[in-house]
Amino acid sequence: MSEIERESMEYDVVIVGGGPAGLSAAIRLKQLDPELSVVLLEKGSEVGAHILSGAVLDPCGLDALIPDWKEKGAPLTVPVREDNFYLLGEEGEIRIPNWPMPKLMNNHGNYIVSMGNVCRWMAEQAEALGVEIFPGMACSELVYGEDGAVKGVVAGVFGLEPDGTVGPNSEPGMELHGKYVFLGEGVRGSLSKEVIERFDLSQGHCPQKYGIGMKEIWEIDPAKHREGTVTHTMGWPLGGNAGGGSFIYHLDNNQVYVGFVVHLNYENPHLYPYMEFQRFKHHPMVAELLEGGKRVSYGARAISEGGYQSMPKMVAPGVALLGCSVGMVNVPRIKGNHNAMLSGKAAAEAAHEAIKAGRAGDELTGYETEVRNGAIGEDLKKVRNVKPMWSKWGMFPSLALGGLDMWTNSLFAGSLFGTLRHGKSDAAATGKAADHKPIDYPKPDGKLSFDRLTNVSFSFTNHEESQPCHLKLKDPSVPIAVNLPTFDEPAQRYCPAGVYEVVEKDGQQEFVINFQNCVHCKTCDIKDPSQNIVWTVPQGGDGPNYPNM
């Protein structure tokens, strides 16, 4: 595509991604200098359409960015009133008391929110300041200058033929150039991945670790609804098969967010994260809450879980990575949106200083320094050993030792364990099918649990079917020749949207990609044991249309 001639537009800063990081950067740039030209490009049909998060929001990021957010009507209306932690067994549960937990685990002062709606509100604030926001504009390529620096992106390519060639109805898109480009694509963004590889930004850092988070919104019996209640669980149904846990958040309007996270470093390729989520809802404690209610929405998204030691270098010539493009989730707190906002603010301040000094296209080293040494680094350093402890030693030892480590980090700003390193990548952690037992999952009952394709319809996902498949195979023979005999082709199970199937055709097994179902979670790009699947952007506006995730 790069040989196509395109028109170009010049800006001071080009921002890719309308999540909390990108929007915070856009807002801060305009706060600092209303004359700066700032454009934000969002691949979803609207800002918020592709935002999926738990979410209990720590408002510290919003406090720093827009101190009068309450007066301006930010959709933070459900304060956390009650915090519960449970360890689940198949038939019952044990309440873990709050008192031994470090203060950082306390949700007092936080809010249960729809991050999609928070981002929609933030987009209104950004536009009121003069930011140009273009939804439905997927950024499919980076543009490099003659010196090798990132100088822009290609956005708005539409109507390619199914084989990727230009046809009579194709629109070539535009090049948007900036003195600096900010990538706030979220977890495993395709452009961020390219930048990390091209500039070797992961050198000296641990591999990034991931989870797959799945979420449903339920309307429940008003008699069971307890607005402001936050519940987290660990244990059943995952057991020793995988790390992970659940969340149940009571928001307003008799609705609850029900979510389930599976760490993607699991070994057993027969594991089926989506079905673990569906099975979880049949636990007596959860079933009692949901019975008589109805599911109104579904979605899924990968989560960056590596923490402090997995954050790559965040800057390269002309470009900065923001938020989950770097991986700023505090895993034990299950929170990253506040850090995403703070990262966008820090990147904006660094770019503003650079542009004011007459610079362009260089490395914004001040941004990286602020992230690692400021509030974000402080937040993540305290919990840096929790995830590697869980990966190395399992749930129970990590509960005890991780709690101790968080206490010592909080009280003494140091750890008895130093900084533990993560092991292999999540893809490399996948074991051979012959070495693991298949798992027998109960059939969904259609009341509490649902089959995958039915649930995907509740994500309101749509893709133009005549476009090229955005899920690329480096070698089309690998799924059947390698992954099927060695790993029982786990793409059939790790995808939470039923995109990948192995079917028999004319006596031969065939790998089928139903890209129309894709909810843009990126799990395939992360977990494929052969690292053969490459997630790229489809044309703008396609994908899920989450209402208030």
Summarised one tens digit per residue, pLDDT across range 420-470 is: 999 999 999 999 999 999 999 999 999 999 999 999 999 999 999 999 999
Distance between CA atoms of residues 277 and 264, nearest Å? 14
Q: Contact 192/328 with Cβ under 8 angstroms?
A: no
pLDDT digits (tens, 9 = 90+) for 129-164: 999 999 999 999 999 999 999 999 999 999 999 999
- Please name every residue paired with 511 in a beta bridge, in sequence order, or none if there are none: 502
pLDDT digits (tens, 9 = 90+) for 341-383: 999 999 999 999 999 999 999 999 999 999 999 999 999 999 9
pLDDT digits (tens, 9 = 90+) for 176-225: 999 999 999 999 999 999 999 999 999 999 999 999 999 999 999 999 99
396 CB-near residues (< 8 Å, 6+ apart): none
What integer pLDDT is reported at residue 1 of this predicted model? 46
Distance between CA atoms of residues 455 and 449, nearest Å? 9
pLDDT digits (tens, 9 = 90+) for 296-327: 999 999 999 999 999 999 999 999 999 999 99
Q: Contact 138/157 with Cβ under 8 angstroms?
A: yes
Distance between CA atoms of residues 437 and 390, nearest Å? 22
Instruction: Read off the tokens for 68.
Output: 């009068």
Q: Contact 17/186 with Cβ under 8 angstroms?
A: yes
- Residue 7: pLDDT above 70? yes
Distance between CA atoms of residues 114 and 117, nearest Å? 5
Q: DSSP assignment of 150-210, as one string?
A: EEEEEE--B---TTS---TT-B--EEEEEEEEEE---TT-HHHHHHHHHTTTTTTSPPP-E
pLDDT digits (tens, 9 = 90+) for 473-502: 999 999 999 999 999 999 999 999 999 999
- Residue 30: pLDDT above 70? yes
Please count the residues of the chain. Answer: 549
Q: Which of 315, 372, 309 is nearest to 339 (CA)?
A: 372
Q: Which of 513, 172, 181, 483 is nearest to 315 (CA)?
A: 181
What integer pLDDT is reported at residue 517 of this predicted model? 97
What integer pLDDT is reported at residue 393 of this predicted model? 82
Instruction: Read off the tokens for 249.
Output: 């958040």
At 226, phi and psi to the nearest 5? -130, 85
Return the sign of the alpha-carbon dihedral for residues 141, 346, 303, 394: positive
The chain-wide mean pLDDT, for the chain, equals 96
pLDDT digits (tens, 9 = 90+) for 47-99: 999 999 999 999 999 999 999 999 999 999 999 999 999 999 999 999 998 88
What integer pLDDT is reported at residue 240 of this predicted model? 85
What integer pLDDT is reported at residue 483 of this predicted model? 98
Question: Strands 82-88 and 93-95: what pairing?
Answer: antiparallel
